[in-house]
Amino acid sequence: MGENKSSNSSNHIEKTCKHISIEIPEDLETTFRPEECIYKAPAALCDSNRASYTPRVISIGPFHHDSEKLRPMEIQKQRYLKEFCKRLRGKTKEQVQESLNVLLSTIQSLEDEIKRRYADNTSVVFSSNDDKFVKMILFDAVFIFELFLKNEEDIRDNKRYQDDFIIGKPWLRAAIQRDLILLENQLPFFILEKLYSLAIEETKPTYRSFLDLSCHYFEKYGKNKTKLDETKPSKVLHFTDLVRYFLSFKHLQLESLDGKQVKNLYSATMLHQAGIKFKALPDECLLDIRAWKGTEKTVKKGELHMPPLEIDNSTECLFRNLMALEQCHYPREEFICRYVKLLDFLVDVKKDVDLLIENKVIVSRLGDSKAVAELINKLCLEIVEVTSGYDALSQLLNDYYESSWNKNKAYLVSVYFHNVWIGTGTVIGLIILAITVTRFILFFFR
């Protein structure tokens, strides 16, 4: 009976499966396209702070193109297109239209290549037979060209465009610069360079290259850290990638721990209690952190040299987008993620921030050390760190802290040599003690 039931059940399943067909489209891609470089921020990261990935005043590219709150800037894009046309060769309408047609035809010929740069193709909803996508690229690209050129001319000619709708409004100028570094708000750099070259460089060779313009526009991220002319990247994916390069081109190089991973690092105040000294390293790349081990000869034992990190209202947005780019595009090269993770180890509470501010490692524009600590602690939520370049550094600092000799020495220094007066008193006291002991010995053995 049991065998008959089993046989009947098998026959029933077999008959049912004959009516089920599974169709898998043959055009599905089974691997990531190497061209992909513009992504929507992963949902897990957006849960922490969606606003940090969303443009406030202007949309660039397809992801936020139809956002109702960003439509007012579409008028400004048209104005900038009109003003940009004045820079093109010739003054007649026919000549200007011919130049624009060249740009449009270039975009049209590269349309598929541009779309393949966007990882989320379902969001690029423009029909292949629709010229809406081509026009969007043109308006967005020309807006960027005119903005960058005006920005440079305004600085060079001392407020030449103070009446301009954007340049003349500091808050809007800053808001647009913030929107232009967002990962979801990008155009591929290659098409910007191509269009700029066709429109400007061939007509007026006196204009700087588009890479020069871009570096100048975003120079605050490399200001006082490097000479931009000496460190230009050889390849740029988009503006988010360019800013990441400014901050990370000189990242930490320390020996690995042969696969071992340091799970924790003592906080800044705890390390300081063991004698670790934090020192600011000006005029360097943000990730150029130096310790006393290895080939580094300029750092004394017990010192950690770090370039100053300026924290203001835009810092969270900046780091979140750079970290999102690394999570999506740079596996095993997540330099910014590693740096923020190191900061998260060093900063637990307000006292840690106060210590780093006192040593000029952090420059806070927020006015509240507790707010800085909370900002740093939240940045690493949902961040997956595949590798760490700071394991060797963390182990070095941990070993220094766990040394009883270092702790005792640091305690004696903090108690008896905290400042010049206490130190002087301690030295005088020791001298008096030495004299007293010497006299006692001489008197006793007389």
Higher pLDDT pick, 404 / 75: 75
pLDDT surpassing 70 at residue 12: no
Query: β-pairing, 309-311 with 362-364?
Result: parallel
Give the list of residues 6+ apart from residue 295 with CB closer than 8 angstroms, or none: none
Evaluate whether 210 touches 295 at the Cβ level (below 8 Å). no
pLDDT tens figures, 230-247: 667 878 999 999 999 999
> Which amino acid is it at 38?
I
What mean pLDDT do residues 199-222 have? 81
Give the list of residues 6+ apart from residue 375 with CB closer than 8 angstroms, or none: 311, 315, 316, 366
Q: The pTM is what?
A: 0.83
Distance of CA 204 to the CA centre of its chain: 34
Which pair of tokens denotes residue 203?
């007509």
Which pair of tokens denotes residue 425?
């008193």
Cα dihedral 151→222→73→94 (10° resolution): 50
Calpha distance 79→143 (Å, rounded): 9
| SS3 category, 59 | coil
Q: What percent of the chain has pLDDT over 70?
A: 74
Alpha carbon of 370 to those of 347, 361, 376, 379, 440: distances in Å? 10, 16, 10, 15, 55
Band (pLDDT 50/70/90 cuts) for residue 98 is confident
Band (pLDDT 50/70/90 cuts) for residue 383 is confident
Calpha distance 166→76 (Å, rounded): 9
DSSP 308: -
Calpha distance 367→376 (Å, rounded): 15
pLDDT for the residue numbered 363:
94
Q: What percent of the chain has pLDDT over 90?
A: 45
Higher pLDDT pick, 234 / 209: 209
Calpha distance 379→337 (Å, rounded): 9
> Which amino acid is it at 357?
I
Query: β-pairing, 309-311 with 303-306?
Result: unpaired
Domain ranges of the chain: 43-211, 268-402, 416-444
Q: Which residues pair with 363 in a beta bridge?
A: 310
Which pair of tokens denotes residue 366?
């927020």
Q: Which residues pair with 362 in a beta bridge?
A: 309
pLDDT tens figures, 18-64: 666 677 666 555 556 788 999 999 988 888 889 999 999 999 999 99
What mean pLDDT do residues 309-322 have? 94
DSSP 312: -
What mean pLDDT do residues 239-263 have? 76
Which of 150, 211, 155 shows the shortest CA–CA distance to 176? 150
Evaluate whether 130 touches 214 at the Cβ level (below 8 Å). no
Give the list of residues 6+ apart from residue 152 with CB closer than 8 angstroms, or none: 208, 213, 216, 217
Q: Which residues pair with 303 in a beta bridge?
A: 277
**Across all residues in the chain, what is the average pLDDT?**
82
Which pair of tokens denotes residue 360?
């000029």
Lowest mean pLDDT among 262-271, 331-340, 436-445: 436-445
| SS3 category, 183 | coil
Alpha carbon of 192 to those of 154, 249, 307, 312: distances in Å? 22, 23, 32, 30
Calpha distance 202→87 (Å, rounded): 12
